[in-house]
Structures are given as C-alpha cells and as structure tokens.
Structure 1
Amino acid sequence: MNRRTTLIAAAALAASSFLIALPAQAQGAASGYPNRAIRFVVPYSAGGLPDTVARIFAQRLGERLGQAVVVDNKPGANGVVAAQAIATAPHDGYTFLVTDGSMFSINPAMYKNLGYDYKRDLLPVSLAARAPLYLAVNPKVPANTLQEFVALAKAKPGALNYGSSGIGSTHHLTMEAMKHTLGIELTHVPFKGSGQSVPALIGGQVDVLFSALPSLSGFVKSGQVKLLATNAAQRSAQAPNVPAIAEIIPGFDFAPIVGVLAAVGTPAEAIERISSEMAQIAKLPDVVTTLNNAGIDPIGGTPAEYNKAILGENERLAKAIAAAGIKTE
C-alpha cells in the first residue's frame, strides 16, 4: 500500500461524518462563536497529506463546536487558488486555510510572483501535525546506521544514488540538506512520486531515499528495506527505535508540517477558539491512532509555536534549495 492509498483510507474514516453538526454538544454558545458552518480550504486535491489532516480534525472540530466544518479542496497554481479563496472570503473567523509548509517555504523559493505572502496575508492558528520522512536503504547497501551510511558515502563519493519524489520535493531537499551538511556526494534520480521511487529502491535501481513510513513499513517487515533515520527533529512515536538525523546534526528538521491559518483581520476570538480546540483534538487517542496509521504525528501547537515552525522551515528549506542549485522560475 503506497502512502497516498494510506492517506485516503485514513481520510475516509472522517469523510463520512465531517459535515455532521451536533448542536447539543455545542461549546461555543456562550460566546456566540461559531454560529454557522466553518470552511477549511485545502490547496491540494483530496487524498494528500493536508487534506487528510484537515478531514480528521474537521470531523472532531464539528462535533465539539456543534457546527459543520466543511473541507473545500482548491488545488492549483502553487497555492494561489487557495490563497485567493482565503483573501476574498470575509475575514470573520469562518474560513481557514489548512496547508503544509511548502506553500510558504518551497514555493516562494522556487517561483516568482506567487501573489501571496505568509507574513503579509496570514495569521497562524494551529500547528496541527507533522509527517516524518524516513531515510531508507536497500538491504544490499552495507550500512545499518546513519553513521555507517555516511562513512560509506564518503569512502565512495558519488557511487551511491538516491531517489526522490521529484525536484523540489521535501524528499529531494531533505537529502540535499543532509548531503551538504555532512559533506557527502550522492547521485540524484528523480521520480514522479513515491509510487515510483519506492519500487526503484526495492528493485535496487536506487540505493537510498526518503519516504513516509506507510510507504515503507511493509517492506521493512519483509526485510526488503532498512530504516536508518528520520528527518524530524526528534524520534517519532510511529518508529521510536529509529533515530533522528538531528541526533548527529543538531537542528536538522525537515519533516513536513501541516497547520491551520486565517486571513489577517480575523477576530482574535475565532483564532483562540479554533487553536484551543485543535490542541485538545490532537490529544484524543483515536485521533492519534488514525493519524499515526497514516504516517502523521499530531501536534496541536499554539499560534506562536506554528509561527516559529513556519519561519524555521522557511529558513532551512531556502538553504536546501540553494544547496541543490534549484533556480527560481
């Protein structure tokens, strides 16, 4: 099962009921907010990481608020379509953006004149989740730890090749950042998604890659893949025995994050309420299990924590893009 299939399956658990409103459970009656449906705008098609996170949280948020939370997919133009939807909607606390960090980090570094700017146009509401990627090698590669892999790569500069989900993907930029920091040479072989790159790893066409755990776990169990590290800042509950690259490169953190944002001018009451509810939902055992099964770690971070995460990710990815020699289009 590839990662997209896993994400779609996880989202399906929420999709059937995320529109349900339960007035009897409404917790916002005292303040009057919310008193009608809320919209989560997602800048990607259904089934991807931000969509899955949006739907799982939307279901529980609707139950807790007593109002429907509608997921509205608006893909296209590197996030511009979704950004325009947020900008043109009333800034009244009933329309939010749910996206990954690439909209504010990778896209601005790779494309000119996007038409939106994080600092100018948006306010952080909640750091909902992160989705760690794992450094995986073909079992024929004589390395069982990250340190052994680095030593092997240094002994044979350029002899090992790595697969990615395409130029400019988080998979690509994570590897370029690791290469640059550790001083190793690997040959890049880009693919069109993990549906192509993971089979290439299994077949030995590439030696190493970064991918999400659901795309790799079955192959790990069968001995067809070895996991060496995760690109998150710390180990994940999904695979607690797999070390973080940050354990040998302090500050290394390239795990994609997903969060909720609002347009500048949105009432503070709305931001505070949604942020508080998201934090509580992220701790619910069934939500944790559902997200973990999709390769996602729930967080429920505050607006300040989300802002710090976005700015940090922007800085790290900008450096990785420069190291990879990717030119702005």
Structure 2
Amino acid sequence: MKSPFVRTLSSALLFGLTVIQSTAATAQTYPVKPIRLVVTFPAGGAPDILARLFSEKAQLGQPVIIDNKPGAGGNIGADIVAKSPGDGYTLVMGTVGTHSINGALYDKMPYDMVKNFSPISLIASAPNLLVVNNDLPVKSVPELITYMKANPNKLSFGSPGTGTSVHVSGELFKSMTGTSMTHVPYKGRQFAIPDLVGGSIQLMFDNMPSALPMAREGKIRALAQTTAKRSPAAPDVPTMAEFVPGFEATTWFAMFAPANVPKPVIDKLNAEVIRVFRLPDVQDRLKTLGLDPVLSTPEELAKYQAVEITKWAKVVKESGAKAE
C-alpha cells in the first residue's frame, strides 16, 4: 500500500506531466483560428506598416488580421491586448510609447507595461525626423532655436498622441534648448500632417518612415534626425546632436502578447517574426523607409524594455511633460 506521501508525489508528477503534454500540444496545434494583431495608431504610420508586413508574410497556417485601435497615445489599443486571454490569439504592435514612455507620462495607466504582457520580439527602430512647415523662415536647427527664442510660444508642434516618442522628442527639445512651444496632440499622424502642411502647426518630430517621403517630395522641410548617428536612409539630414549635444530619441517597435501566454506559443511567434523580418525584400523595404531591423529573443526584449522605462522616466521628469 502506497504511503500518503508517495500518492501525493505520484499525483504531482502526473499533473506536471499532463501540463507539459498539454502545453506541447498547444504549441503544435497553434494557431487553430485567425490571430488578431492590434495596432495602437491609425493606418499609415510605422507601427501599421510593420504590422501589415508581418500580416502579409507570416506563414502560421492562419491569417493575421490587423485591427487599428488608436487613441490616448496608444493606451487604448494596448489596454485591449493587456486584458485579452493569454492564448496567443491577440497580439499588439507595441511602441516605445505604449511600453516605455506612457507609464511616466500618464498619472493613471489602464495597464501595467510589464506585468500585463509577454514579450515576443523587438522588430525595428528608427529616428524621428524634425520637420517644419515650408513657410517657417528657418532652414536649420540653429535658425529654429534662434527663431523660437525670439518668438516664445509662437510655434506649435504636433504629435500622433500624448506619450508618443514624437511628443516626448519635442518636450526633450524644449528642455535641452531652453525654448517654449505648444504641444498639439492628434489621434494619429494622418490627422496631424495636413495641419503641418497647411501651417496650423509649424513643426513635428515625426517617425522617419512617415516623414521622410513627404520631405523628399518637398511638402515639408526636414531639419534633423533624432538618433545619435545619421540614418543611411537620410545621410544628408544632420542629427540633432550635431547642434544640441547629447540629444537622442530613438523610437522602436516590438511585438507583445498578453501575460501568461505559454512559452512554446511565444517561441513559435518569435521564430516567425524573426523569419519574416529577415526576408531580403522586407529588409529592403524597411531600410528604404528609414527603419532599422532589430530582432531579439523574448528575454532580450524584456531587458531592453526595462532599460527604456528607466531612461524615459528620467526624460519625462526632467522635461516636466504630462499627459494633457
């Protein structure tokens, strides 16, 4: 006759084996239905471009459906995913805003940027591009700073939402140059750009993939990019640090799932993200847009996110920026 200890141990081992077998089976069969990939901004911006590239190229046996849920600096879409079941069927194209900046900027966050998500992979990073209305009488960063100091609070800068890297880049610029201007948040860049071209707002630190084609067409004027080194996509555009030493604001994009998604499912998604974004035609497309492919393991993304949260909390505090 087995002792109670042996019976308990046997039951525990059997339960553990059942869980392992169930998890393995889940990974083998996943996915059995379409996957919803939430984009926290409107169509046309860098997060949407990346999500649609993944949707077009993914070979998971089920379609990846893009669902644009903009608003509140990306918080609305990210919150939907944070509160979704941890089964791998709802994902989010996270941004530096939704998963690093917003926690410091908003007094009340609807989700925890770390605890409510399972990291999958970094995907890409990019500079923001300081672009101005063509009628603004400045053609360089020094000229812009001089103009702003002579005309305090005369200029307005737009962003696709409070807490985005576009917004915080502007706040960092104000802080580091001792200038003042008014922030005008929109529900997405597609609403801000017509106002920039028309002159209702005068400047913007837009994501390079969105802004560079318009600057090349002459619709707006590019003054500087915000990464430490010039992007190969725009070698003729100086960095902000060339005029404002120490200025750096990189925007990044990464895929996350809700918390508690089984590791085999996360690993399967990670492998597919890496496969898709290593395809030569996808890499060529990203480079043309000014996006730098940056792929990672889930663990590397978690570590990077932790560093970014600390970095941006310091920037937000020093700039005094707050969600309106």
Identify whether the pair has TM-score above 0.5, normalized to the shorter chain: yes
Query: Which deviations, in whole Å up to 9, do the C-alpha atoms of 1:213-238 show, x marking residues without a partner?
Result: 46544653455543222123543333
Q: For 2:105 and 2:153, how far apart are their aligned partners in 1?
A: 29
Report the counterpart of residue 11 of structure 2 in structure 1: none
Change (3 A) 1:253 1:214: closer
- For residue 32 of structure 1, the aligned residue among 24, 28, 31 is 28
Confirm or deny that 1:228 pairs with 2:223.
yes
Shift, 1:187, TM fit: 2.0
Range with bigger deviation, 39-48 or 53-62: 39-48
Residue of structure 2 equivalent to 1:176: 171
Change (3 A) 1:141 1:297: same
Q: CA deviation at 1:117?
A: 0.9
- Who is 1:134 aligned against? 129
After superposition, residues 158-169 of structure 1 pair within 5 angstroms as 158=152, 161-165=155-159, 168=162, 169=164
Answering whether residue 55 of structure 2 is matched by residue 61 of structure 1, we say no
In structure 2, how many angstroms separate the alpha carbons of the residues matched to 1:225 and 1:265?
45
Q: Is 2:274 aligned against 1:264?
A: no
Amino acid at match of 1:123: S
Which of these two proteins has the greater Rg computed from alpha carbons?
2
Offset of residue 134 of structure 1: 0.7
Question: How many percent identity over aligned positions?
Answer: 27
- Which one-letter code corresponds to 1:41 in the other structure? L
Give the structure 1 partner of residue 92 of structure 2.
97
Question: Does the C-alpha gap of structure 1 residues 141 and 70 become closer, same or farther in structure 2, counting only changes over 3 Å?
Answer: closer
SS at match of 1:243: coil
Q: Which amino acid aligns with 1:252?
A: E
- Contact 2:197 2:219 survives alignment (8 Å): yes
User: 1: distance between equivalents of 2:140 and 2:108?
Assistant: 42
Tell me the CA shift for residue 185 of structure 1.
Answer: 0.8
Name the TM-score, length of structure 2 as normaliser.
0.71
RMSD: 3.8
Residues 42 and 190 of structure 2 are in contact (CA less than 8 Å); yes or no, is this contact kept in structure 1?
Answer: no
Instruction: Please name the residue that 2:64 is paired with.
Output: 70
Do structure 1's residue 42 and structure 2's residue 38 form an aligned pair? yes
* 1-structure distance, mates of 2:41, 2:52: 12
Aligned to 1:299: 294
Contact 1:162 1:186 in 2 (8 A): no
Cα pair distance change 1:210/1:135, threshold 3 Å: same
2:184 is the counterpart of 1:187: no
With over 3 angstroms needed to count, the CA separation of the structure-2 counterparts of 1:80 and 1:214, relative to structure 1, is closer
Q: Give the aligned partner of residue 248 of structure 2.
A: 252
Distance 2:307 2:275 in 1: 24
Equivalent residue in structure 2 for 1:237, among 232, 237, 240: 232
Question: Where does the alignment leave 5 or more consecutive residues of structure 1 unmatched?
Answer: 1-27
CA apart distance, 1:72: 5.1
Match of 2:103, SS state, is: helix
Q: Confirm or deny: 8 A CA contact 1:281 1:300 kept in the other structure.
A: no
Structure 2 match to 1:52: 49
Is the 1:279–1:299 contact (alpha carbons within 8 Å) kept by the matching residues of 2? Answer: no
| AA aligned opposite 1:285 | P
Are the aligned partners of 2:128 and 2:205 in contact in 1 as well (CA < 8 Å)? yes
Aligned residues: 294
- 1:39-93 Cα offsets, whole Å, 9 max, x none, are 243153662543332221133222xx4x11422527377545654555442x344
Given that residues 125 and 260 in structure 1 are in contact (C-alpha distance below 8 angstroms), is that contact kept between their aligned partners in structure 2? yes
Structure-1-length-normalised TM-score: 0.70
Q: Is the 8 A contact 1:54 1:71 kept in 2?
A: no
Q: More deviation in 277-286 or 92-101?
A: 92-101
Q: What letter matches 2:203 in structure 1? A: V
Aligned match of 2:277: 282
Deviates more, 1:36-45 or 1:47-56: 36-45
- Asked whether the equivalents of residues 157 and 185 of structure 1 are also in contact (C-alpha less than 8 Å), the reply is no
- 1:195 is displaced (CA, Å) by 4.7
Partner AA of 1:266 in structure 2: V
Letter paired with 1:188? T
Deviation of 1:239 after TM superposition, in Å, equals: 1.6
SS at match of 1:114: coil
Could you tell me whether the CA contact under 8 Å between 2:136 and 2:202 is conserved in 1?
A: yes
Name the CA shift for 1:40/1:305 in 2 (closer, same or farther; >3 Å).
farther
2:141 matched residue in structure 1: 146
Code of the residue aligned with 2:184 in structure 1: it is P
What stretches of structure 2 of length at least 5 have no aligned partner?
A: 1-23
